[in-house]
Structure formats: structure tokens, C-alpha cells
Amino acid sequence: MAVPDLTQQQLDDIYAFAVDLGRRAGQLLMESIEKRMDGEEQQTVEEKENAVDIVTQTDEDVEIFIKTAIQNKYPSHKFLGEESYAKGQSRDYLIDEHPTWCIDPLDGTVNFTHIFPMFCVSLGFIVNHRPLIGVIYAPFQDQLFSSCPNRGAWLNEKRRLPLLRNPVPPMPSNAPSKCIFSCEWGKDRRDIPDGNMQRKIESFVNMAADAGGRGGKGGMVHGMRSLGSATLDLAYTAMGSFDIWWEGGCWEWDVAAGIAILLEAGGLVTTANPPEDVDTAPIEDVRLGSRLYLAIRPAGPSATETGRESQERTVREVWRRVRHLEYTRPGA
């Protein structure tokens, strides 16, 4: 059942609310950091799945703050937050076609506990499974990424994304060469033969190695970047700073806002896992909840290709070099 479309005025109102809420939630994160820096507060960290999967009291407090604000303003909207989900029993994909907020109060929790600036609040607004509005706020460096349908994607509501847009550059003709490749080591560190960690590493090395290396799979990317925040990886891809982001294992609250922003900026998101025929398989929009993501930055036309063609060519070149990852998911 599709729900009726929202009007532009309704979307604009939700967007303005989300931007304000993102800034206020980010301010709460900074207040917590400042108390720790001033020695007024110690941090309590709780482990979830393993020693690198953690939650802090701040995560939970900020999620309640966000949830309360949304429920007061939009009582008919559904709400899905990382911390409340994590406490539930189900690992199903719970989003349906109704207007739903999918939020992460604190993405980059490990960064936050170490006071490395790459942490953020992430607010995604989804209708009919499509992320429509996104707000990502990284308060330590005061970077707010946001988007609304037909209004564009923005950095700090001042600079339109992607940042280079006069004109928007095409993907490099020999991509993934000349591309910045963003990837994360993630939380699954089990050293199992042909397990996810080993497949990720094999994929990373293929992307990094010089063009003659790895039996012709060498991608010789311009740079390999790991920030420790899937949400900010996507934000920087929307900005045009990262050309390619490839990831398995993250959840819908990690990516909902980022996908909205990336798509509005002109980027592409499909599945991380290569299909059987990488040369001809259709390049489909990613299914939210699939836990497997490959994002390409916004791209403009060249003399010989449309922007979309250059993005699709890049997707196929990545698929040639990466392994299948196994992150199953009920209900997605």
C-alpha cells in the first residue's frame, strides 16, 4: 500500500524541523564531550556484540531527546532509532511504507568515546521505503549536511552539494584510478578463512594495488580512507570528497539520512555485492535494510558519457574488484 505523497510545503516544514533538531541533538553531544574534557563527567561505555560494538549513556539520552521531539511534533509518524532497536528482540527490517523517522543519535560511537571529531547525529525521514529528507550534523567541526526533495543538498545550508559544481566533474575515465575509496574495517573482526573480514581485506587490497598488480585487479585508487563513521562516509560522498564508498554490515539508521542527501546531490547507491554478470547486470537502487551498500558521488557529463553512465561504469569497475559479503537480514 503506497501512502499519499506529501506536499512540498509539508516536506519543507519537516526539513526545517529536522535541521533544527539535528543541530540541537549535536549540541547535546558536544556538551557531553565538554563535560568530559573539563573533568566533570566520566564516560560509561557498555559493550554490545563485542569489545568494539559499544553504546554510551549519551547515545541513549540523545535518542530519547530526538524521539520525544518528533513524537510531539509529528505524532502520526513512525520512529526507528538505533538504541531502541538494539534493545528489541527482532533483527527484522521494520520499516514499512508509512512516513518513518530512522535515526542514529550518535554515529561513530568509538570516535566519540575517543574524542576523534568524526562523529555525528543522523536523522533520516523515509516514505514508501525511500529516504526523502536527511540531516547529518557533526558538531565538533560544525558540519551540517542536509537535503530536501527539490531543494537540493547542502553543507551548512550555504554551500550546495556536491561542492564542485561549475561544472560537476564526471567520474574519472579510468576509475577507480584517481578516485578516493572510502571503506571501513567494521566490527566483525573474526579471523575465519573466507569470512567477511578476509573478504573485505581482499577487496581493499584489490582497490589499492597498482594497476598491474593483483592479476589485473589492481585499482590504484587515489586514496583509501577509513573514518569510522558510515554516516559521514556517505555525507562526504555526497559532498564529492569521496568518489566511492563500499560497505557491508551497516544498518538503516547508519545510512538513511546519508542516502537521502547523496541522492538529492546526484549520487548513486546500489548493492555492494557484485552480481553474476558485472558487465551487463542492471544497476538497481539499493534496498534500504539490505546492509550492503555501494555509493558513487554525484557526477556530471563528459564529452562521451552522461554523468549516470560514468557512475554506472564506476560501479562495474568496483564490482570487478570486490568480494561478496555475507550479511543476511530477515524481512529486508
Residue 104 CB neighbour total at 10 angstroms: 33
* DSSP letter string, 169-216: PPPPTTTTBT-EEE----S-----TT-HHHHHHHHHHHHHS-TT-GGG
| Total residues interacting with a second copy, rule: CB under 8 A | 55
Name the pairing type of β-strands 130-138 and 120-127: antiparallel
Which residues lie below 8 Å from residue 193, measured CB to CB, with a gap of 6+? none
Dist CA 302 CA 172 (whole Å): 10
CA 67 to chain centroid: 20
From candidates 87, 223, 284, 331, binder to a second copy by CB under 8 A: 223
| Segment 74 to 113, residues that bind a second copy, using CB under 8 A | 110-111
From candidates 124, 228, 249, 300, binder to a second copy by CB under 8 A: 228
Backbone φ and ψ for 112, nearest 5 degrees, come out as -60, -45
| Segment 135 to 154, residues that bind a second copy, using CB under 8 A | 141-143
Cell numbers 558510515: residue: 230
Q: Tell whether residue 254 is among the known ligand binding residues.
A: yes
- CB contact at 8 A, 295 and 269: yes
| Segment 178 to 217, residues that bind a second copy, using CB under 8 A | 178, 180, 184-185, 189-191, 197, 201, 205, 208-210, 212-214
Q: Tell whether residue 277 is among the known ligand binding residues.
A: no
Q: Tell whether residue 104 is among the known ligand binding residues.
A: yes
**15/327 with CB nearer a second copy:** 327
Q: At its nearest, how many Å lie between a second copy and the CB of residue 198?
A: 8
| Segment 26 to 65, residues that bind a second copy, using CB under 8 A | 36-39, 50-52
Q: At its nearest, how many Å lie between a second copy and the CB of residue 76?
A: 39
From candidates 239, 261, 268, 318, binder to a second copy by CB under 8 A: 239
Strand 244-248's sheet: what is its strand order? 180-182, 244-248, 292-296, 268-270
- Residues tagged in the binding site annotation: 82, 104, 106-107, 254
Residue numbers at the binding site for a second copy (CB under 8 A):
36-39, 50-52, 110-111, 114-117, 141-143, 159, 163-167, 177-178, 180, 184-185, 189-191, 197, 201, 205, 208-210, 212-214, 218, 220-228, 236, 239-243
